[in-house]
Amino acid sequence: MTQPLPHPREAVGQRFDPALMRRARERSWAVLHAIRERMRPGIDEAQARAMAAEVFREHGVERLWHPPIVRIGPNTTRTFRQPSEPGVRLGERDIYFIDLGLVFDGHEGDVGDTFAVGEAPERQACAEAARALFDQVAAAWRTQGLSGQALYAYAGERAAALGWRLNHAIKGHRVGDFPHAVHKAGDLGTLASRPSDGLWILEIQIAHPTEAFGAFHEDLLAGPAAPI
């Protein structure tokens, strides 16, 4: 029997390998945490990006598919395409996030996470809330088979229930064998069907309801790894 053609928005190249996608994801997380280990109060965003470039070389990053993003303090409410307020440095009690788009073995990893430094309970709670919200939305994808559109509607409901503002401009996106952009897949949040395993990045960005800080978390929507 002829296999059905994939949805055009989920097209991949001839080199695509789900195992290499998972490997790119794992290696990208390792790089992100290596950058986190070098973040210190007093660093600014430009210095953090320069430091990240050193980590990329040490970890054998093949190439970038988007520039590294480090947002500090009030800049954590900015979206990917919004420029940061210049001159912001990491404080003793502060918050920042890292957003990486890396390529390993011709496959794209895209990871992001938020961290608080010092005694900053509200900022720590914000970072934890972004992770918790990501986990809840990803669980809804696994168990309820929600479409991309429904996932972001659910994310908005859950963010409000947790007491945070969801940034509705952030809608997730495709990844794949580099460059995924040739497939023109659009945002996850506009996908009317259930997103397939290992092809879409779920992005969650929230902000404090009244204060000028927020948090970001993103990762690959993926089910359990296949047995070897």
Q: Tell me the per-residue pLDDT of 108-140, one tens digit each, with 9 for 90 and over.
A: 999 999 999 999 999 999 999 999 999 999 999
- Which alpha helices (H) appear in 145-223, and where do they start and end? 148-162
pLDDT > 70 in the chain, percent: 96
At residue 146 the predicted structure's pLDDT band, cuts being 50, 70 and 90, is very high
Do the domain assignments include residue 224?
no
Do the domain assignments include residue 53?
yes
What is the total count of domains within the chain? 1
What range defines the domain where residue 58 resides? 15-219
**CB-based contacts of 85-92 (< 8 A; 24+ apart in sequence):** 87/44, 88/44, 88/45, 89/41, 89/42, 89/43, 89/44, 90/39, 90/40, 90/41, 90/42, 90/43, 90/44, 90/48, 90/117, 91/41, 91/117, 91/118, 92/41, 92/117, 92/118
Q: Is the pLDDT of residue 152 over 60?
A: yes
Q: What does the pLDDT read at residue 225?
A: 55
Q: Is the pLDDT of residue 5 over 70?
A: no
State the CATH number of the domain containing residue 136: 3.90.230.10
Provide the 10 A C-beta neighbour count for residue 129. Answer: 22
Distance CA 205, CA 218 (A): 9
Distance CA 155, CA 133 (A): 7
Do the domain assignments include residue 103?
yes
Do the domain assignments include residue 61?
yes
At residue 80 the predicted structure's pLDDT band, cuts being 50, 70 and 90, is confident
pTM over 0.85: yes
Lowest mean pLDDT among 16-30, 64-78, 147-161, 175-189: 175-189
